[in-house]
Structure 1
Amino acid sequence: MVSKLLVFGGNGFLGRRICQEAVKNGFQVMSLSRSGRPPRPQSLQDKEWIGEVQWEAADVFDPLSYNRHLRDATDVVHSLGILLEDESYKVKVRNPLNKSFDLKSLIPSFGSNPLDKKNPNFTYERMNKESALILAQAFRQTLSSNESKRAEMPTFTYISADKGFPLIPKGYINSKRQAEAELMHYEDFFRPILVRPGFMFDEYKTSSDARSYVHNGLELLNCGNRVLLRNKLHFVNELIRPTISTQQVSRNIISKIRDPSFSGIVSLESMLSMN
């Protein structure tokens, strides 16, 4: 039986690489997102695997929009979430760098204009926690109502985070940890796989944008910690964390999905140690 993987947010920065790795490993793959559109290919290789994925539109907060897809799914990935409660930051991160770029523009401001209209769903509580729990509950109900027995325990993968980031509100990491704790309660229905990557970059990204700017800065700090301090100071190691590529994270996710004995946390260190 071919495993069917549903990736919520499959056209996103990490989600697209999860889809790519799943196709490579013989999964039947479906991406679900608000737009239902595939990502823009960055290479000829991208065009090949993108054509193998089924791209569908759905609203994670509305199970009626995707329940039919859950019925024959063996594995589900929740690759949704936000770093800041400001919708504009994702556009700023993706845009090419120019002379007017200011890193401070990515830092959240303390205090906001009460007249500004904000998306009520664009909060840590809704995007990082509730969206995952709504999806997990929908998957559990589908599994409970499905009378056919499965050869292996289904999986539910949640993209969490390694640590909080300096200058990022604590609500970010708190919402991730709260979601993790709730998802572990579903162990009788599926294997929870809780993935904790650090700052991510794409190995095939060629253009310069805000993400590459931050990545280069973090790599410089990591190099200094490794060469000058030899990673011997615990508090420095906790503050300056290694970066990891979306490709490495995706390989680890598919590996853990295929391992019927695994459930629980996938740490940043364990992902970096995997070849």
Structure 2
Amino acid sequence: MTSKLLVFGGNGFLGRRICQEAVHRGLEVISISRSGKPPVLNSPLRERNWIREVCWESADVLNPSTYRRHLKGASGVVHSLGILLEDESYKRKLKQESGSANSPSYSWASWLPSIGSNPLIKNDPNFTYEVINKQSAITLARAFANTIEREGIDSEDLPTFTYISADRGFPMIPEGYINSKRQAEEELLRHKDVFRPIIMRPGFLFDEMKGPQNTRTHIHHLLEFLNMSNKALLGGNFECINGIIRPAVSIQQVSRCILSKITDPKFEGIVPLEVIKEA
């Protein structure tokens, strides 16, 4: 089995860091997105060298015929797509109303709930929990399973399928969000005889490389403060509060954890937030 990793949504907020970590670990990396373009990063050139090591390909996750050839010989697939809200048009409206990127109000509008940029699904009429969070993962998993079965299965070295799920639902977020994630998980775990399913359950995501003025960083600090306050004042003894105040996790931690699980031939199953935080 070759060390070829396919990352669907590889130029998104989390996907790009998964690609970067995989390159650093010596894997052959192919990013699949609708645009097929690499991400535009503002970091120094030396920190962007990994981008040249990734093969950036265009495909539609809901149409296996557009990417089936890439599945052949793959040692792993990562599904890094998802939406927190089914209608994210309000974000664009708020940003337009708040003016240019230099205006103070622009920055707070930019943090509004989102899993990140998902190039495969922009302007897609199927921008729903059912299609993006669930059906796209199931479609991809079935296509990968069929490819593996045609090539033959080595029970000692099964390929991996990694799904970016979620720790739990969020206040004021429709139940359909977490329900779609859990339903996708159930389907993926049924394929454990063909590939090793790896289910990641991160919480709120932030980027360690962003500066202190980044809004996601502000939210991260707020969540950490609330968690410390919960433990210090309440001892973390109230499950109802523990279920609401959950720690944030960086996309670098998630990426490191993903690659560690992928390269562990004995691991399969769910990776909770507490384990991801240790990466």
The question of whether the paired residues in 2 share the 8 Å contact of 1:96 and 1:207 is answered with no
Which residue in the other structure is 2:120 paired with?
none
Aligned ranges 1:21-170 → 2 under 5 Å: 21-41=21-41, 42-88=43-89, 98-100=103-105, 106=112, 119-147=124-152, 152-170=157-175
The question of whether the paired residues in 1 share the 8 Å contact of 2:31 and 2:56 is answered with yes
Give 3-state SS (helix, strand or coil) of 2:171's partner: coil
Letter in 2 for 1:6: L
Which residue in the other structure is 2:265 paired with?
260
Task: Note if 1:228 corresponds to 2:254.
Answer: no
How far the C-alpha of 1:237 sits from its partner, in A, is: 1.3
Which residue in the other structure is 1:205 paired with?
210
How far the C-alpha of 1:18 sits from its partner, in A, is: 0.5
Residues 62-83 of structure 1: per-residue CA shift (max 9 Å, x gap):
1011000001211000000100
Aligned length in residues: 264
Give the TM-score of the pair, scaled to structure 2: 0.86
Change (3 A) 1:106 1:143: same
Change (3 A) 1:239 1:253: same
Structure 1 gaps, min length 5: 109-117
Letter in 2 for 1:162: D
How far the C-alpha of 1:233 sits from its partner, in A, is: 2.3
Bigger mean CA deviation after superposition, 98-107 or 155-164: 98-107
Distance 2:90 2:188 in 1: 28
Give 3-state SS (helix, strand or coil) of 2:12's partner: coil
The question of whether the paired residues in 1 share the 8 Å contact of 2:30 and 2:55 is answered with yes
How far the C-alpha of 1:213 sits from its partner, in A, is: 4.1
How far the C-alpha of 1:236 sits from its partner, in A, is: 1.4
The question of whether the paired residues in 2 share the 8 Å contact of 1:7 and 1:76 is answered with yes
Distance 1:169 1:219 in 2: 24
The question of whether the paired residues in 2 share the 8 Å contact of 1:87 and 1:122 is answered with no
How far the C-alpha of 1:220 sits from its partner, in A, is: 2.7
Letter in 2 for 1:174: N
Give 3-state SS (helix, strand or coil) of 1:256's partner: helix
The question of whether the paired residues in 2 share the 8 Å contact of 1:29 and 1:54 is answered with yes
Residues 130-155 of structure 1: per-residue CA shift (max 9 Å, x gap):
00000001001111111485861000
Change (3 A) 1:107 1:31: closer
Distance 1:80 1:104 in 2: 19
Change (3 A) 1:272 1:209: closer
Give the TM-score of the pair, scaled to structure 1: 0.88
Which residue in the other structure is 1:114 paired with?
none
Q: Cα RMSD (Å) of the superposition?
A: 2.5
Distance 1:105 1:19 in 2: 23
Change (3 A) 1:90 1:250: farther
Letter in 1 for 2:13: F
Structure 2 gaps, min length 5: 115-122
Identity %: 56
Which residue in the other structure is 2:5 paired with?
5
Letter in 2 for 1:130: Q
Give 3-state SS (helix, strand or coil) of 2:234's partner: coil
Distance 2:190 2:271 in 1: 17
The question of whether the paired residues in 2 share the 8 Å contact of 1:153 and 1:190 is answered with yes
Change (3 A) 1:75 1:30: same
Letter in 2 for 1:32: I
Bigger mean CA deviation after superposition, 244-253 or 234-243: 234-243
Distance 1:171 1:25 in 2: 36
Change (3 A) 1:162 1:89: farther
